[in-house]
Structure formats: C-alpha cells, structure tokens
Structure 1
Amino acid sequence: MDIAALAADARAAATRANHRRLVVLAGDRDACVDAAFDVLCGADVPDEETTIVSSREGFRFERLHPKQAGELLGSTRTAVVCDAHEEFSPNVVGRLVGAVDGGGLFVLLAPPLDEWPARVGSFEKSLAVPPFSVSDVTGRFRERLVSTLRDHPGVAIANVDDGVVERDGSAPSPPDVGDRSPSVPREHSFPRLAYESCLTGDQSRALRALERLSHPGEAVVAEADRGRGKSAAAGLAAASLAAAGRDVVVTAPSYRSAEEVFVRAETLLSDLDALAGHDAEAHLLRATPTNAESGRVRFADPPTAATLPDDPDVVLVDEAAALPVRLLSSFLDAPAAGFFTTVHGYEGAGRGFSVRFRDTLDASDFTVTDAQLDEPIRYARGDPVESWAFRALLLDARPPVDPLVEDATPDTVEYRAVSPSELLADDHLLSEAFGLLVFAHYRTEPNDLARLLDAPNLELRALLHEGHVASVALLAREGGLNAETRRSMYDGARVRGNMLPDVFTSQLRDEEAGVPVGYRVMRIATHHAVRSRGLGSRLLAEVRREFDDSADYLGVGYGATPELLSFWEANGYSTVHLSTTRNATSGEYSALMLRPLSAAGAALRDRHAEWFLDRISAVLSDPLRDLDPDVARAAIRACGGARDPSLSDREWRVVVGASYGPGIYSAAPEAFRRLALAHLVSPDRAPLDARAERLLVRKVLQGRPWTPVSEELGYVSEGQCMRALGDAYKPLVDEYGTESAREERARYTE
C-alpha cells in the first residue's frame, strides 16, 4: 500500500476539478497519524496550509483541539486532518469540512471502520444522561457514517493496519457549467470597486439586489448554501451603504458569525479611502464619504438590534435562519432590512427561515427582493466532499414536499412510535422526520442527528399521512433519579439531560423534583402545509395516552409567547416557572409547563404552580419588569385553578376607595397586586378587556411609572390612565369583595 501515491492521485484529481477529496485512514491511532504525514507529503501540502484537529499535541503544523474546531469557520486550508479517535463529534465534522479549499484534502483518521460503531468516545459518553449508563448508548450514527464513507464518490479509504487501499476515491468528472465569473452591471449605485471585489456572478447579482437597501421600504433576502459568499456580499453592501452615509446595524447569533461581514466591509472601505476608524472592541467601522454625512457599520447582538438602537438606516441580519421568528419580525420596523441565510448548513436551515418567517415578511410594508447564491466560492459545483457532508450529517434534510401531506387531517393520520432502528433502516423516513425538526427549530446541529439515533433518553413520535411525516415530537425522558444524584443536583451539580428536574431542584430548591419520571417535549413540529388543523394537539393527545401508565408527567420548556402559552394551556399543560433571564439568542424568557399523568406528577405540578403564583408578583416587579404583559397574562392564566386575594377589611376599603371613591392606588399597592393576580389566574370570573389586564400587569404587578405605562397602552394622559386603573378594579371588587367591601362600595353607589 502506497499512501503517498494514493494521496498524490487524490490531490491531482481534486486540483483538476477544483473539488476536494476525502481520505480516510482507518486503524490504530499511531499508525493513522504516521499515515497522515505520508498523505500530506505525497499530496505536497505545505505545513503552513495544514491544520490537524486532535486532542494530541506535538505536530509540526497548526493543531487545534476538537473543542476549538469552530475557529476554522470562515477560513480555508489546503488540508484539514480530523483525528476521530478521541473527542470526535458530528459537530466537529460540520465545522471542519467547509474549511478545505478547492484542490485540497479532508483527511479523516478513524478507528477500524468495522469496529468504529461500537467504540465509545467522549461524545457518546455525553449521551449517557442519568439514569442511563454508557452501555445504553448505541452506535447507529457511526454505523450510518461508515456506510456513507464506503459508498460515496470522492472518498478514498486506506486500512493502515492491514496495509490495504479499500477505495481509491475516484469521482465522476464535474459537468461543464459555463462561465460563472462576476461582472459589473451597466447601471449601479454601489461603487464599481464593490463589484470588482465579487468572486462569482451570483455574488455580483446579489450585490446588485442589495442596492435596493439604499432606499427605505425595501427588504432583500439572500439565501445560499455554505461557502457561497453571502456574508461577503453582506459586507460589501454594508461598506457601500456606509460610504454613502448610511448607518448600518449588522446582527447575527454571535459576532463570530458575522465576522466575515466586517472583514469584507473594512477592506472595501479602506480601498475606497472611506475608512475613518475601526473600533475592534465595539465592533464598529466608521466611514467618511466626501459627499455625505458620515456613515458607519456596527454590530449588535440580536436582542439589542431588535430595539433598533440609535435608529439605523439599514439592518443586515446574517445567519437569519438561526434566529426565531419573533426577533426577525422586530427588524421589520427598520427603514430597510437585509436577511442572509444558510440553506443547508451548520448554523441553521434557510428553508426553515422561509417557512416560518417569509409569510410575515411578505405581509409587511416592505417591497421584497430575493437573491439566490448557488455558485461555490472555494471550489467548483458538484464537489463530492460537500455532497458527502450533506448526506452524512443530513444538512439537506427536509420534510416531505407539500402535495404528499397537504390533505392530512387529525382523522387521516397514523400515530407511530418511530424507533432509532427504523430511522437507521429508512433514510427517507429519517430525512423527513429530521428535516421537520430542523425546520421547526431555529438552531439544529449535526450532533442532534447523532442524539436522535443513539441517545437512550430520547423518543420520537410522529403522525404519518400515507406514510409521510406530517407532525413529529421529540421527547426526552427525565427524572427517576436516585437520592445521590438528586442531592448533588440540589447542591449545584449540573445533571445532563434532566432540564426540568434541574431547574426545579437547583433553582427552586425542590430536592424531590427528580423522583417522578417525566417526558419533556423537546421539540414538536407540524408540516407548514397542514398547520392550524389540530395535528399538533392530536399528536400531544396520543403521546399523553401512550405514556399515561408509564410516566408521572409530561413537560415542556420554550421561549414564551402568548400564542405558545395558549397552545400548551389548551393541551392541558400548566405554567410552573418563568425564567428570570432572557435567552441570549432569542431574547425571550422561557416558560416551563407540566401536564400530570399520575398522582406523583399532579403533586409536582400543584406545588410548583402554587409556588409560581406565590412569587410571580415579586418577580414581575424586579427581574421580569420588562416581560411582555401579554406573556405575563397568558402564563398566569395557564397556572389553572383559582386564587384567593385574601385582603383584610382595611385593604378592601382602600381598594374600594380607589375604584369607586376618592382613594388612591399607592396607599396599599400589595392589596392591589393580590387582587390583580387573583383575576389573572381566573380571568373569566370578571369582565376585563385586554388593555385593562395589560394595565394590571404593567402598573400594578410590574410597578412601572405612570408616564411610560400611559404611552404604551394608548391613554391620552396619566390622569386618564389612573382613572382606567380604578375602573379596572370595579368588576374585581364586585366579584371578589367581602361583605365589608360591599358595605364600603355602597357608600359611593347608593
């Protein structure tokens, strides 16, 4: 076996096609490392163009630990060596594959392929969440991965233990796609130099579309697979806009995600002699055009950008598919907005973005222009390593096409418990189910595919219409923890895979919360073609029936919105907690809800619902002071039951005086809080409209000043707002008032 010759042939073929090749070296780890040096030598790859990702040290070229693999995102190497013997995970592959340039090699060092599915590494150990052990974790993902390596074009395999080349890595010649070079449009408002900086025709056409953002009322959506230059196009557009005096806000899930935007923007502004300054710490570029006021390009995290700080002229949202719809919708208040999204990639799914957000965008006042970037920047079309990564990691997974499920109703679907073995055996079923999960969630990673196939705590349930997935739920078994584990959790230890018991125990100080066994709905998704037909509720009802005799409760945790709270309440779930910090990406507070299935589950739900109501008034006046009042209303209502306001005779006199007489709210705010809470728990008992209930939340429970409350709720003056608060308490006095309250009311009404 001549490894060097194999590598030389693979590199030569890759160079001719401007593609990449994948070289697998399987066997003993030391032998694989030695063979990797032979590969790099035979392929004539310079050390400075090589990176190895390994938990080992001592290489003559750049070495990164697998935990640092993300540092290669956005960069290029002629060769990337991935040591899969230790610290290997699907995410590592997803991060590394895109870093290999056209004509380069992705070298995978693996255990013997026949043995790899049974090997247990650090990632597999992480799937053994309590009460499961490592022996419960399966190797289905690695089994599937090995299968793709053995039959995909462009993958060479060498067994270094036996000295045998199993595959030479040949691939079909790429098709002739004609001239794809960029060009400068005949008419353009962006600088000519911006177009000359483009690398493909797709990129120059996208930049031409982005010129529309120079005018208010315009939105542009740029979709592309990874490596097509959409972030670079965003950077060229940002610089062009800033050079014309525009204030441009760039946002993304993290600054690192948007770094390429700023690199390209800074370069173009410098080439235009319009760069006035670069504040790296503030992620700010300043521009000084000669014929306009100064422009700038600045980064803001998504929750901050959603507030449109300092009234920018344009907002550019990179990796938009990784953000939830609520945040994306807030950018529609900007004068102009550009959305850049990866169609099939590590950060999210562009089609999911289209399904979840596009209707909202199209219904807005914006004129929307689409731009599609298909041409790869770093390699030619038809690259076999890219298609292998898509297949192995299901980066292109998608739900069934609309016609296959569009006739589905709750009466036509079949409920099925879909086992991991069934998913492994049926790639079509796996792609549909995983694709639906990807579309429904704003962040899905390659690791999630391995969890679906191998994690012992996960269960997949689906509704199938004529054999196609119409709705799907991913469930995580939680609880059933022994005393030692519960004690360690109570003392602050993080116990993986038990989110609800962890919060209940470590934050809410309930050491017994880990005793009952529950199933948390991690994700639930219904095909976009059949939403609002009751399929999600049908699926949850079937899950409840299935687990009624084998679990104590069903639970869920999610970014709280009024609509979602109402959906879960309608399906029998009760609020037991609201997080006191916002999710860094979504900007939402999380709601935790339970539906009991047994006496133990009911006891858990009842005590936490009671504790939630005991603390919610104080929490709303401090860490949740900025919570959306409609979220607060829906969360409190979803607790269920009734709440006794328990006012003393004197407190009733104050409340009656403020509503029916000359009294004032500030004389006894706590009494007003208890009465407001009693109403919001059972809003059907007294007639109040939505604005009056928002007033109870904003002023009484959150204690916000009169002026901003008046302005937010549309009252013409503080005085009108104060009178409206008094009027809101009249029906509450009538419904909840004691005999002494009625006597006090009679003084003003008779």
Structure 2
Amino acid sequence: MVSDNIDGGMSWKQTKALLGQDCFHVALDISEGLDAERLCAIAGCIRGGSLLILFGLSESPTDNFFLRLCNMFNQKTVAVFCQQEGVRLPALADLCVGESVKERQDGQPTNDQEIAIQSVKKVLGGHRRRPCLLTADRGRGKSSAMGMAAASILCEKKTSIVVTSPRKANVETLFSHARNLLELSLDKPYELVTSSGGRLRYVAPDQLIRDVSDADFVLVDEAAAIPLPMLERLLSKFSRICFSTTEHGYEGTGKGFTTRFRALLDARCKGWKEVTLHQPIRWAESDPLELWLSDTFLFDCEPALVAFDEASPIDYRIVEPRQLLGDEAQLRSLFGLLISAHYQTSPNDLKHILNDASCTILTANQNDVVVGALLAQKEGEISDVIADKIVAGERRVRGHLLAQGLGFYTGDSTFLSLPCLRVSRVAVLPSFRRHGVASQLVKLCEQTGAKKNVPLIGTSFGATSELFSFWRGLGFLPIKMGTQRDSASGHYSLLMTRGLDDSVNHLPLYHDLFEINFSKQLAEQFFDLEPRSLLLSSLRLLHVFH
C-alpha cells in the first residue's frame, strides 16, 4: 500500500524502490492528489493477474484531470466501489486476455528476447559501425535481453563491456540477469569480472565520453533519457555500440526520441538495425491494466499524419482545458504532437495541460486537424518581500523559471513583480514546418498576453543555431545563458525575451550586458561550445571575434 496518511504504508516518495521489482496487488491512496508518473511506474511493476487499487478519490472531483480519470473508470475492465452509486464489477468475458508469456525459471529468453540477444551479439562480431537499437514498450524484457547478451559474450571470450545509462538504477535488471547467468557473486553491484578476465561495468554517460577508451563494446540502456548530442558523441567514439529505449512509458520519453534518433542513425550509420520486442513478460497480451493505463495517460497517442494543403487555410485557436476534456480526439491529437516533438513529455504533462489555470494552450488547425501547438506559462506577480529574497539568492519559487531567471541575473526585482509569459513548448508537424506555423503561434501568444496586460514574453531552450535564429527572427533578445548543459537537450540553456509594452523598455540594456559578458565567458564557461552552435548564427555576437 502506498499512502502518505496511513500508518504502515509506503510513502509516495519511497515508491522509487519498487522500480525493477515484481509486485502483486498494489493499493494507492490518491486522496491528497496524484503523481501520474509515479502511478504509471508502479503499475509497470505489477504482475499479470494482480490488481491496481486506487482509493480515496472524491466522488465529486472538481479538477479536469480527475474528471477525466473518473471517465476512464467507466471502462468495462474497471471495478468501481462508490458510496453513493454502489458497486460495479467488470464482466469476466471482458477480462479474458491472451496467454501470458511467463518468465522462465531456468533463465531462458522468450522468442523476442532471443532475437534481440543475437542482434546485440552481432554488433560485436560483425562489421564495425553497425549499431543496434532495441525498442519496446515497458515490460517486454529489453534490459534483461541486453544482460543475457552481455553474459553470453563474456562466456565466449574475454571482452571489456561498458554499460551506461543516466541512472545506475536503470541497469539493475541488466546486471542481475548477467550475474545470474555467469553465476558470479555480488562483490560489486555494477561490475562483474569473469575468471578469464572479461569485464562488465557501469560508467556514467559523461564519464564514458570523457575518460573511457578501452571498451570493446558499449551497451546504452534507456537511451531516450540521454541528450541526443551526447548519444552522437558516443556513436562517434565507439564503433561497436547498442542502444535500448522504451517506446511508450511513464518516463516521459519514447516516440519523440526514437524519431530523432533514427534520423541520427540514418545519417551516421547506414548499416544500423532496429529490433522491436512485442511479447510482454510480466503480463499477457492485451492485459486490461496495460490497456487502461495506455488509454488514460495517452502512452500510445500519435500525431496526425497529414500533408500540408496549400489550398486550405490554417486556423489558429486558443484552447481551454474544458474543451479538451470534452473532446478526446483533440486531446489525443494535441498530446501526440507534443510527444512526437518533445521527448521529455510525461504523464504529468497531461495533468498540467488539463489542470493548470496559468497555462495557455494554442493550436494551429488545418481541416480541423491539430498541426501545431504552443504551450505558455504565466509567471511573475510575486510579492515584493519574496522578490527581494529571490534577487538576493535566498529563495526560489517553483514554476517561475523566466521571472526568477531575469530577476536573479539582472538584480532587477521588477521582473518578478510584473506578470510575464514563458513559452515552454512549440510543436509543429514535420509536413507543416517552414510554412510559418510556429511563428504565427508565437505571435498569437504575444497578442493573447498583450490583451491581458502582460508586458513581457520569453522562453528558455537548449541553444542551437536553428532555434536561436528562429527566436531572434521574432524579435527576442538573449539575456542569459546557463553555465551548465541542459540535462534534456545536452545544450546550454539560453533565456530570450521580448517586451510587449513600454514598461520593460530597459530590456535591451540587459541584452547589451549579456553580449559583453558572453565575450568574456567564451574562454571559460563556454570553451566547449560547439562550432556550429549559437555563435555562428548570431550576427550580433560575431563581432566579438573580429
């Protein structure tokens, strides 16, 4: 049982300990709210035939996310126990599913896993620079297959294999299967050494790129959680490398990542191979809980596949969350577009879109199909007392990235007291790009803010020449660049702003200050800035080098 209120229950913060484990029945107390990402993570640990129990939900929810959750409880495979409406149980016929692919006690792989194992081994034994990409939904055993493949390789010959992933916890399953097959003791949890001198060890991605040169083979688990520029450097450095990633899952990664990563592999490694695992291991095909989670949290939603129609106008709209609540098709289309364009989209983003009153949702539609979308967050209007503490570096307020970045960096508390809009997402279907859709969405956002007397709009993103040119072309000025690379994009985060009225006429002064400081920082904080990045696209900054 997971609850922050009931004695003897596991707290919601402690649920990370469940990841990678097999659970039977799990009860979740959602009376104090719901972390959608944690719920989905926990549900992925539940074995087929067991129950996920949610309790404590109000019978008259008021927020949109819980209203939608209640609607999803009406599916035929869900049992509902309600004080007012009584009990509703699913019919047994609705719970019939396919035969389960049981995890074999002798450690033998499933058919899908055997194909994956042989594909991984071929990367090491075949031609150089022909990587393999393993893709699967959660619960298909891709990490287990990588561990089995590593064990098989180490049994055959002395090999130095390095495993990397953003977090050590991600590779526990891989190491567990390798250790069991090799029959090795648990001396070090993330390093195995065979009697012949073969070695399997974990190395963090940044350390692997910087320090390791003796790896014969590299396995990258949960690759979607690693920035693409870092993966590109791994591809360049290691000629024999294999990747795995989750297609539909709670991690906020998946389809958007694989789309980009496939393009990278196409450009860099012509002979690469993709293997997809379909068979579930912990549960059966068409498992009711897996299907319910997928429908409820939109794991499997996809953007519309439509071509740009020059004869049809594009309609730009302001969308209210209640509209999405009543139009499941539009919600799925919008969320599918966000997933495809931003591979850090998670189930909690769905909750944010439906619930957060400070979130502005704009869409571009052609023939009633969502072809573009923009999300913006209203920030600022912070009290003078707290604003002064933020400027002094003594306080941080959650959810005010733009306002706090401006206030702290400039020392001007005005940016904290004024309202502002931060553009957090812009997504456009590939066939509609280069047609001005994103620019029109930003302009509509500016108009929406101006009508509500918002004097300032801004954004923060991983700085590339393409993105910088886009925002600079819309009149946004760079004000601040972070000194550490963004964990999602692998680039330095750049904050850019644009004034919407005369109350922030002093913004250009801070841009001038940025240019002066930036020229000095190039020799220190930004010495490793890529040649084709921000600098080469900025005529305002290039004069520094002349």
Q: TM-score, normalised by structure 1?
A: 0.67
Query: What percent of counterpart residues are identical?
Result: 31
Shift of 1:410: 11
| Structure 1 residue 203 corresponds to structure 2 residue 113 | yes
Residues 572-611 of structure 1: pairs in structure 2 closer than 5 A? 572-584=475-487, 586-603=489-506, 605-611=507-513
Shift of 1:366: 4.4
The Cα offsets for residues 476-521 of structure 1, whole Å up to 9 and x where unpaired, read as: 1122333233123224211122101112223442222213322111
CA distance, structure 1, for counterparts of residue 542 and residue 117 of structure 2: 56
Of 28, 36, 53, which aligns to 2:2? 53
| Structure 1 residue 285 corresponds to structure 2 residue 192 | yes
Residue in structure 2 matched with residue 74 of structure 1 by the alignment: 20
- CA distance 1:256–1:610, change in 2 (3 Å): same
Gap runs ≥5 in structure 2: none
The Cα offsets for residues 63-90 of structure 1, whole Å up to 9 and x where unpaired, read as: 3211222221211111111011125322
Shift of 1:408: 4.5
CA distance, structure 2, for counterparts of residue 350 and residue 572 of structure 1: 33
More RCO (CA 8 Å, sep 6+): 2
The Cα offsets for residues 588-637 of structure 1, whole Å up to 9 and x where unpaired, read as: 2211111222222342x3132122123223333333333334435158x3
| Structure 1 residue 628 corresponds to structure 2 residue 530 | yes
Query: 8 Å contact 1:182–1:202 — kept in the other structure?
Result: no
CA distance, structure 2, for counterparts of residue 315 and residue 141 of structure 1: 41
CA distance, structure 2, for counterparts of residue 408 and residue 497 of structure 1: 38
CA distance, structure 2, for counterparts of residue 484 and residue 389 of structure 1: 44
Of 321, 333, 355, which aligns to 2:259? 355
SS in 2 for 1:102: coil
Residue in structure 2 matched with residue 335 of structure 1 by the alignment: 239
| Structure 1 residue 378 corresponds to structure 2 residue 282 | yes
Query: Hey, which of these two has a bigger chunk of helix by percent?
Result: 1
The Cα offsets for residues 147-182 of structure 1, whole Å up to 9 and x where unpaired, read as: 111x213211112x46932334645253556x9689
- CA distance 1:249–1:412, change in 2 (3 Å): farther
CA distance, structure 2, for counterparts of residue 340 and residue 576 of structure 1: 38
Query: 8 Å contact 1:251–1:315 — kept in the other structure?
Result: yes
The farther-off stretch of 342-351 and 164-173 is 164-173
The farther-off stretch of 236-245 and 558-567 is 236-245
| Structure 1 residue 100 corresponds to structure 2 residue 46 | yes
The Cα offsets for residues 279-310 of structure 1, whole Å up to 9 and x where unpaired, read as: 33xx3333343xxxx33223233333344722
Q: TM-score, normalised by structure 2?
A: 0.91
SS in 1 for 2:162: strand
- CA distance 1:253–1:170, change in 2 (3 Å): farther
- CA distance 1:141–1:323, change in 2 (3 Å): same
Of 156, 159, 181, which aligns to 1:268? 181
Residue in structure 1 matched with residue 89 of structure 2 by the alignment: 167
Give the partner amino acid of 2:457: L
| Structure 1 residue 140 corresponds to structure 2 residue 64 | yes
Residue in structure 1 matched with residue 133 of structure 2 by the alignment: 221
| Structure 1 residue 679 corresponds to structure 2 residue 543 | yes
The Cα offsets for residues 310-351 of structure 1, whole Å up to 9 and x where unpaired, read as: 252322222222333322322321212222111110113432
CA distance, structure 2, for counterparts of residue 468 and residue 328 of structure 1: 34
Q: Which has the larger radius of gyration?
A: 1
SS in 2 for 1:380: coil
CA distance, structure 2, for counterparts of residue 579 and residue 436 of structure 1: 28
SS in 2 for 1:218: coil
The Cα offsets for residues 622-681 of structure 1, whole Å up to 9 and x where unpaired, read as: 33333334435158x37x4xxxxxxxxxxxxxxxxxxxxxxxxxxxxxxxxxxxx6714x
Give the partner amino acid of 1:54: S
CA distance, structure 2, for counterparts of residue 175 and residue 54 of structure 1: 31
Alignment size in residue pairs: 540
CA distance, structure 2, for counterparts of residue 410 and residue 565 of structure 1: 31
Taking only aligned residues, the RMSD between alpha carbons, in angstroms, comes to 2.7
CA distance, structure 1, for counterparts of residue 2 and residue 133 of structure 2: 35
Query: 8 Å contact 2:109–2:145 — kept in the other structure?
Result: no
SS in 2 for 1:456: coil
Residue in structure 2 matched with residue 126 of structure 1 by the alignment: none
Query: 8 Å contact 2:98–2:284 — kept in the other structure?
Result: no
| Structure 1 residue 483 corresponds to structure 2 residue 384 | yes
Of 341, 364, 389, which aligns to 1:463? 364
Of 497, 500, 507, which aligns to 2:402? 500
Query: 8 Å contact 2:160–2:198 — kept in the other structure?
Result: yes
Gap runs ≥5 in structure 1: 1-51, 119-138, 184-192, 641-676, 681-695, 697-731, 733-750
- CA distance 1:307–1:531, change in 2 (3 Å): farther
Query: 8 Å contact 2:26–2:53 — kept in the other structure?
Result: yes
